[in-house]
Structure 1
Amino acid sequence: MKFRKRKNILKREKAALVRGEKSTLIQEKGHPPGKIDIKIFSASKYTSAYPPINFLADCRENGVESIGENKKKTDDNQDAPKKNMPTWQELLSTADLSVRAANVLLNNFSSCDEFLLCNVNSLRDLRNCGQKTIIELAEFRESIIAVGCRTTTHEQKIQNRLLHAEDLLKFPPSEENLMFLPIFNSGELVNFSWNDLHPGFKGSVSLSGFVFSVRASKILKGLGLTTIGEVMVYPSGNLLTQKNFGRKCLKEVQNIIRSFVVSGDLPLASYTAQTDSGLLPAIDYSSYENLVVSFVRHCLKIKRNQEIVCSRLNFPDTMPTLEQLGSQFCITRERVRQILKRANSLLVVKAHRDLLSDFWEIIEQIIIGGGGIISLVELAVALQTRFEWTHTPNPSALGQLLAIWQTGMTFASASDQLSVDTPCLSCHHPLELLSHLDLSEHDSYHFEVVGNKILTYCKDHCDRNSIQKFHKAFIKQIVSAANSKFIFHDDVVFPSDRWLIRHGERLEDLIVHVLENHGKPIHFSEIGAAIRKENIKYREISDHNVHAAMMRYDTVEIVQRGIYGLKAWGVGGYRSVSTAIEDLLNAHDLPMRRSEIIKHLAGEYSEQNISAALHNCSNRFVSIGEGFYDQPERWRKRSLSGLIDLLPDALVNLARFITTNNNCSYKLVLALVFIRGMDEKGVFYLPTLKERFFNFYLGRQKKGELVEAAAVLMRRIGELGDNEIKNKAIKRPLESFLASGLWSQKYSSFYLHEDLVELLANAAVHSLLLIILLKGIDEYFTAIILPSSNYSKTSIGMDTRTGEPPPCLSDDSEEEIMNVSSESTLSITLKKKSWGKIPL
């Protein structure tokens, strides 16, 4: 590009250095007048000290007849002072350009003449100059030419240049003298304050009504500026030195001042002032929709944003979501959220809220006229009547509009209330009248009847009363303040007891209410009949459901069979059969046989009821075997060691021998069968013992329970013959019993030591030993049933004599039971399928 080469030459030939943030302008010889070389360090903070004037007319005044040609100055203006010549930087600092457009002009053009000589196509080759920037620069170029066409005559220009800025600002505001304000040119006025401005500048107007950004508003407030006139005479260069105040904030302030002074746009004026002066059209009160639309149009400029906000302030049913609005306007929901957030911050500005000052005043009058509190539904109806609207506004939509008036409040539903501080809200007369309301003739009153009674009472006892009709929300509030004596339900005021039996929803409250009214225990069928007669919700409830519910409530207790009363009366004492069994088991502290339980409770309950309770209440009772029952949680917590400690000392060794050093259940089961079936002399016929031993496992198989661990012979019931399994399985436990010295064999009979038989003659001791054996069997099968259990790797217990753990069996071996006597060491024999016996 030619102008780039020319610019590089000028840079090499310049004779001065740039210092600070000032620019050094060097007039180059051999170039057209007005061609200057510019080096700028901080373009965003640059403002000229000279007042901006029509630069194109000035160029012509200084003798430039045509731009880009080598013309000499005319003789008329040879003595014109050079300091009045316009500068390229001055034009760019005051122009409404983006940062990128300004940088493109500063980096590629040294004067306005050079910029005007460049056409649009040549702008495309500039760096950082895209389509958007080209359009902006083209509009800027056209505006420069248009300003040059509107210049005054040469003689008028010379005359205006002789005037000072202070003199020009005393004339009515215009586009020309507006630029002499310090806020536009950074120049300081001498002996001139905002009070000296022409009245047309309206310098006395307060800043509180203008809509500035948060950043600009904070900085202006921090500088102590309170009126728009003070901002006009404040140099823009001083503003740019403030922290966080840049070109964007300065442009914002300048645009607001220009719009305020030249265009006559008064963003701070109230609705009444604007409409009276004819500056703005009146708010349209013909309908709620027109009210919202006209209000939003005064606050927002972009039509799309207006429609989005109106959709949130006026909707027929439910508020449209961000997703729905985004689909309607072809934007994302996040963009909708940003628009609404920005719009809400503008709507709540005092200047905008004052547009509806008449509307807010009417709402306040409606609220005060009904007691100081009103719901959104009532307010919507009252506004329709007041303005004679054809349709009632949606209460939820009205709540969104009221949130602009009552900042900080949120109206989520139509039942939300709006209140104004009035003496009626704190007056005690309405509550006194409600407390003395005569309900002997009528069970309830409509809220309007109650309101009329209160209104009549207040007119006689209150001098300042101006209420014409109390709102429903006011009646609801005094009813709720009556300490639960009254209930407001469906526009009707009920005494609390009448409301409970008529509209109560908790069955327990209804049962208690019926018993309290009756005064003594009654049959549950009578309670059910009273509830069906009065209550609307439970008109079809059965006596069975009432009885089932009463058994669950802690406030009600059974007095006799089928008869219930309040527990607070203390006339109870009756207990259910399940409760009686639990109390008996708790008192006995050990599992009990069913026959023992029946014997203890025979005088209070029948055998059939006791058996049914034990069988059906599985969550309260568990059968542990041999006719014994216990509570599930207590049975899980019992331990073998704890139960064994309850035995006599002579039987402790017997119990420990049976319950320890077990790698299968044979010894436990054989001991259980023997203790259960021996005669009074401790003798058991051996063939019968073998048969019952086998039947124990056969019964588990038929019940679908686990018979034994996978490697144990008894697990193969059904695969091998019964006699084969029976004889092989019982052989080793019998030998172990005989080796212990606690049993002996004579012919075909098996004998228990006579000292032990004598101790087991006690029924309690006999039952305790059976319980210990049942607990051992239960723990064994529980252990092998668990998924984590592996029989071949499960410890069978510590050897109490040697203190060493017993060995484990391999998975592929067929285990044969053996236990050692108390005098011998532990030994195990494994029998492989293809090998002989291997002693370990």
Structure 2
Amino acid sequence: MVTTMTIKNFSPYNIVKDALTELRDNEKKVVSGRFGIDTPRKTLSSIGKDLRLSRERVRQIEKEGLAKLSEAIVERQGGYIERIIKLFEKYGGITATHKIPEKFLEAAYQGDPNQFNSMVLIFHLVPNLKKIKKTREIEDSWMLAHISRDDAVRIIDDWVGHLKKIKKPATIEILVDAHPHHQKYEMTFLSELPSISKKLIQTDSGHVGLSTWSEINPRNVRDKIYYVLKKMNRPMHFEEIAKKIHEQKFDRKRVVKATVHNELIADKRFILVGRGIYALREWGYEMGTVADVIKSVLDGNNEGLGVDEIIKEVLKRRVVKKNTILINLKTKSDFVRVGEDRYALSTKS
């Protein structure tokens, strides 16, 4: 994964806003409406109705306005345009449109739609850049002019086929090793491909999987719970799980603690291992009382086990305090002491 870099002391909105003052009134209204500068984005038809002009005339005005902006921005703001191109090169010459804020804008501007829309407008004006329209395969994206869209799509298809074959996420390096002819491409370029693909998704760890795999791209609450537990790799209280789901920002759907708790109870992939604490059943945890788990540990050990070993094995299967295990061993009739700090199942068990 490429380390994120942005352009410091750069406000696309201020640059565009200043340049728009040089346009005629209709040109300013059309360009602002089309790109969403200080207004929601509008269609040609919508703008045409507002200005009482045909769609074709609006399109012509937009073209004339962009030509003037190109002179006002690209030619006069050469330093910033050069930095945009250099940043594109650092990202392998490619970026998904939805990634523009985090890759090109400073943190203070990343949530501002005017800054985002202004940057998109500037991208439209830069001759070295080309827009890649959204398809069934790739997201709305931008590339340096010399980058091949077809090459990107072919590589993505190769990786999708390989992932379907191995049925598990893989690193970019593993995917490239599986296709030696991909080695001629820069790793920065290859690393960006999952972000423009609709079929691939890259995890925080850098592994790439299919977007249809719920374990890395969860859609419902149960799969989001599984994702969080798998990622944290430890038992968690249901309230903490709900908090982590919110922090992960899978989507805009709000998840409440009660819903998380209900799904944990209903799904057999999860197991209660403490007070409100859940784990993945695949980790080997067991249900039942502490005494039940101790019985499971001692079952088949006729000579018994040492206290330390019993505690170690119980903690692999339940989240419980050591003192609770000791109290159960000393007070429950199911267990009998068979030596110094050694216990076995009693004949009553």
TM-score, structure 1 length as denominator? 0.18
Q: Which has the higher strand share?
A: 2
TM-score, structure 2 length as denominator? 0.38
- Computing the radius of gyration over CA atoms, which structure comes out larger, 1 or 2? 1
| Greater relative contact order (CA < 8 Å, ≥ 6 in sequence) | 2
